[in-house]
């Protein structure tokens, strides 16, 4: 769910007690002055030191400090000490403090999460400064505190929290269309290095859900594929990409036990999946199993019911049979488990808000993400320990995992970043070029019966871009013009009325070729009507699905069809290159597209993808 996936230049502290960080990191495999192994030491040595540091730290912490480590929430403001009146007012209403620094100190937070709507993500250098300010609050004046997990949802594609000038990479389903784990790993490594450069050390990615339901309203292109094996291969590749190198970040496979077969959005209600245990093992479990084998640092739970896995009706986040029985025991995972946002309706339907954090901990999770009432949730966990409903040993188990993770991922050793280095690390020409090359392997030619593509000669002189998305149609037309075509755009609305369709058909008469963008046609029948009316009027039509590739099932007679899986800048650029014949379509469907009339009948099968025939 949308919870809300750095090279060099990181300032290191030799140990948590050191007063000031050195200006250069130690060489790979060296030991700091305080005797702690660097993050580049051999894995076994690093894990051993992480365990010892966690035990030492745990012995010094009060119950309030330990409970604080369990919470990750948002704060408002572009800086840790914001004085912006609006942000101060919102922080006071939300947490009873003025700014992020005070929130970290008051609640002993274990983590924070960044969003644009909470004014955290204006531009990269600002993000780095915010991260450093919050980390300094967590470390305290004596630098003896525990650094934060600083997180966001950088999935790319349509869920990209850190935007331009940071590198925009292909999202999951677009990478699925390459069928290349190496591409998924490369994208994750670039993304992770840029996140770490601005002080974000945990990414809530990759999505490990298998999108077996074309009507899924919340996963869709956020998933790699409808095939468990491809999803597993790419999810594991991204785990390795995010968690490799000096600029590594914590990867988070989500949403366990699998959110791919839902037709309800768990932001607004509680979805139910009726997979049996054998079906779950075959369809949903493989990506999580492979992510665990790849060493994934954290896994996020889903707010969904799986009656065949837990007949009580509890959402998975609150289910001990699922979070402990399946994840911990059957799959053997002993890393950090984080809830999806506890403000989502899917986890709030069954129990009062104050009960949810305690029930989640009892189920086996470790990190409580974005409870709707953080002060109340914090108080509820403390009271549960004092009453005996939760033992302090249970709290210690989760805190121990969190502390080990922070040390093992190098966050303890390198909590701060150098803002002066951000421009050299984020949105670099090398990263931008790599992103475009990756994207150029994703565009999928699904149908070219009329031989319209590639457009050449007069076909590229009088183009009209229309259909879904006011900004998207303009962006497509602008990119076509930058590539030398003559193009205009006309937006009839995202679900155009009969009058808007008729107006577009009249507009199209002055153009030789019409490019129609679609997105979510199954719920917006006006889009399909637009395609059908344009073709009935004799227009040369190229349809382009800029979301999921299932749209063509709703206008099955379209003769020329592309899938881009996104309307991000790199996806639009790749599509324009394919339209104009500047690059070949190289993507292959990562899902099966079923018929809209008979969902059991495949219209285009997994792996389908055409090349030009001229």
CATH number, domain containing residue 348 = 3.20.20.300
53's tokens: 């540091």
- pLDDT confidence bin for 43, thresholds 50/70/90: low
369 and 458 co-located in one domain: no
461 and 393 co-located in one domain: no
Of the candidates 23, 30, 60, 6, the residue with the CA atom closest to the CA atom of residue 403: 60
pLDDT value, residue 3: 41
Buried b (16+ CB within 10 A) or exposed e, 380-415: bbbebbeeeebeeeebbebbbbbbbbbbbbbbbbbb
Task: Check pLDDT > 50 for residue 449.
Answer: yes
39 and 179 co-located in one domain: yes
pLDDT in tens, 371-420: 999 999 999 999 999 999 999 999 999 999 999 999 999 999 999 999 99
pLDDT value, residue 400: 98
List the catalytic residues: 267, 340
- Sign for the CA dihedral angle at 364, 370, 372, 373 comes to positive
The answer as to whether 594 is a domain residue is yes
The answer as to whether 612 is a domain residue is no
Per the structure, how many domains does the chain have?
Answer: 2
26 and 91 co-located in one domain: yes
Location of structure tokens 């899917």:
346
pLDDT in tens, 221-230: 999 999 999 9
The answer as to whether 39 is a domain residue is yes
277 and 407 co-located in one domain: yes
485 and 594 co-located in one domain: yes
260 and 395 co-located in one domain: yes
- pLDDT confidence bin for 254, thresholds 50/70/90: very high
Instruction: List residues bridging with 604 in a β-sheet.
Output: 593
Which one-letter DSSP state was computed for residue 272?
A: B
pLDDT in tens, 74-121: 999 999 999 999 999 999 999 999 999 999 999 999 999 999 999 999
216 and 288 co-located in one domain: yes
Domain finish residue from 429, 463, 493:
429
The answer as to whether 213 is a domain residue is yes
pLDDT value, residue 346: 83
Domain finish residue from 398, 429, 460:
429
Domain that holds residue 495: 443-604
Higher local confidence (pLDDT), 28 or 375: 375
Calculate helix-pair angle for 181-197, 228-242, nearest 10 degrees. 30
Which one-letter DSSP state was computed for residue 581?
A: T
235 and 287 co-located in one domain: yes
Task: Check pLDDT > 60 for residue 67.
Answer: yes
Task: Check pLDDT > 60 for residue 9.
Answer: no
Task: Check pLDDT > 90 for residue 181.
Answer: yes
Average pLDDT over residues 346-357: 91
The answer as to whether 437 is a domain residue is no
pLDDT value, residue 461: 81
CA distance linking residue 578 with residue 511, whole number of Å: 20
pLDDT value, residue 143: 83
> What is the H or E stretch that residue 474 is in?
helix 470-482
CATH of the domain at 557: 3.40.50.1700
315 and 355 co-located in one domain: yes
- C-beta of residue 115 within 8 angstroms of C-beta of residue 75: no
382 and 484 co-located in one domain: no
Average pLDDT over residues 212-219: 88
391 and 459 co-located in one domain: no
The answer as to whether 2 is a domain residue is no
Cα dist from 553 to 154, 461, 501, 513, whole Å: 30, 30, 20, 22
Percent of the chain with pLDDT over 90: 84
Q: How many CB atoms lie within 10 A of CB 486?
A: 14
Q: Compute the mean pLDDT over every residue in the chain, rounded to the nearest whole number.
A: 91
- pLDDT confidence bin for 32, thresholds 50/70/90: very low
Phi and psi based region of residue 80 (left: phi greater than 0; alpha: psi -120 to 50; beta: remaining): alpha
pLDDT value, residue 613: 58
- pLDDT confidence bin for 505, thresholds 50/70/90: very high
Domain finish residue from 387, 403, 429:
429
pLDDT value, residue 17: 30
- C-beta of residue 317 within 8 angstroms of C-beta of residue 266: no
The answer as to whether 500 is a domain residue is yes
pLDDT value, residue 561: 97
- pLDDT confidence bin for 42, thresholds 50/70/90: low
The answer as to whether 4 is a domain residue is no
Cis amide bond preceding 454, omega within 30: yes
pLDDT in tens, 452-478: 999 987 777 899 999 999 999 999 999
């Amino acid at each position: 769910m949308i919870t809300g996936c750095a090279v060099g230049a990181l300032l290191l502290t030799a140990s948590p007690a050191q007063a000031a960080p050195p200006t250069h990191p130690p060489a790979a495999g060296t030991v700091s002055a305080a005797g702690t192994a660097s993050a580049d030491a051999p894995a076994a040595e690093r894990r051993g030191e992480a365990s010892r540091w966690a035990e030492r730290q745990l012995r010094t912490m009060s119950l309030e400090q330990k409970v604080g480590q369990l919470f990750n929430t948002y704060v408002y403001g572009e800086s840790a000490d914001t004085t912006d009146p609006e942000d101060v007012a919102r922080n006071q209403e939300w947490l009873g403090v003025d700014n992020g620094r005070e929130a970290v100190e008051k609640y002993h937070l274990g983590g924070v999460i960044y969003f644009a709507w909470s004014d955290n993500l204006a531009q990269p250098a600002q993000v780095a400064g915010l991260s450093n300010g919050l980390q300094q609050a967590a470390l305290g004046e004596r630098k003896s505190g525990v650094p934060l997990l600083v997180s966001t949802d950088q999935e790319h594609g349509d869920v990209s929290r850190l935007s331009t000038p940071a590198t925009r990479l292909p999202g999951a389903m677009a990478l699925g269309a390459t069928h290349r784990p190496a591409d998924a790993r490369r994208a994750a490594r670039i993304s992770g290095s840029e996140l770490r450069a601005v002080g974000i050390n945990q990414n809530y990615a990759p999505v490990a859900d298998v999108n077996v339901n074309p009507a899924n309203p919340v996963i869709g292109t956020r998933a790699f594929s409808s095939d468990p094996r491809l999803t597993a291969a790419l999810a594991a590749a991204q785990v390795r990409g995010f968690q490799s190198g000096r600029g590594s970040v914590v990867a988070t496979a989500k949403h366990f036990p699998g959110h791919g077969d839902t037709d309800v959005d768990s932001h607004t209600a509680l979805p139910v999946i009726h997979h049996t245990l054998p079906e779950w093992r075959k369809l949903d479990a493989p990506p999580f199993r492979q992510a665990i084998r790849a060493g994934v640092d954290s896994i996020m739970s889903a707010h969904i019911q799986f009656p065949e896995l837990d007949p009580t009706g509890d959402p998975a986040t609150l289910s001990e049979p699922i979070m402990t029985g399946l994840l911990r025991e059957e799959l053997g995972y002993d890393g950090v488990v984080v809830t999806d946002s506890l403000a989502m309706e899917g986890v709030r339907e069954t129990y009062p808000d104050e009960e949810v954090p305690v029930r989640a901990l009892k189920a086996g999770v470790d990190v409580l993400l974005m409870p709707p009432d953080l002060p109340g949730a914090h108080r509820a966990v403390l009271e549960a320990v004092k009453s005996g409903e939760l033992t302090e040993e249970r709290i210690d188990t989760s805190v121990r995992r969190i502390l080990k993770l922070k040390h093992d991922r190098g966050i303890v050793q390198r909590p701060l970043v150098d803002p002066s280095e951000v421009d050299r690390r984020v949105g670099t020409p090398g990263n931008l070029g790599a992103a475009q090359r990756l994207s150029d392997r994703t565009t999928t030619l699904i149908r070219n019966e009329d031989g319209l593509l590639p457009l050449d000669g007069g076909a590229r002189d009088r183009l009209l871009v229309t259909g879904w998305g006011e900004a998207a149609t303009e962006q497509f037309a602008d990119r076509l013009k930058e590539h030398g075509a003559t193009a205009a755009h006309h937006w009839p609305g995202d679900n155009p009325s009969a009058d808007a369709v008729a107006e577009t058909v009249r507009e199209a008469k002055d153009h030789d070729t019409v490019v129609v963008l679609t997105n979510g046609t199954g719920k917006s029948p006006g889009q399909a009507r637009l395609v059908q009316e344009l073709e009935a009027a004799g227009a040369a039509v190229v349809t382009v699905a800029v979301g999921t590739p299932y749209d063509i099932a709703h206008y099955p007679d379209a003769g020329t069809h592309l899938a881009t899986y996104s309307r991000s800048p790199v996806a639009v650029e790749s599509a324009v290159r394919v339209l104009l014949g500047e690059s070949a379509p190289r993507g292959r469907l990562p899902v099966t597209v079923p018929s809209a009339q008979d969902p059991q009948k495949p219209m285009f099968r997994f792996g389908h993808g055409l090349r030009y025939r001229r």
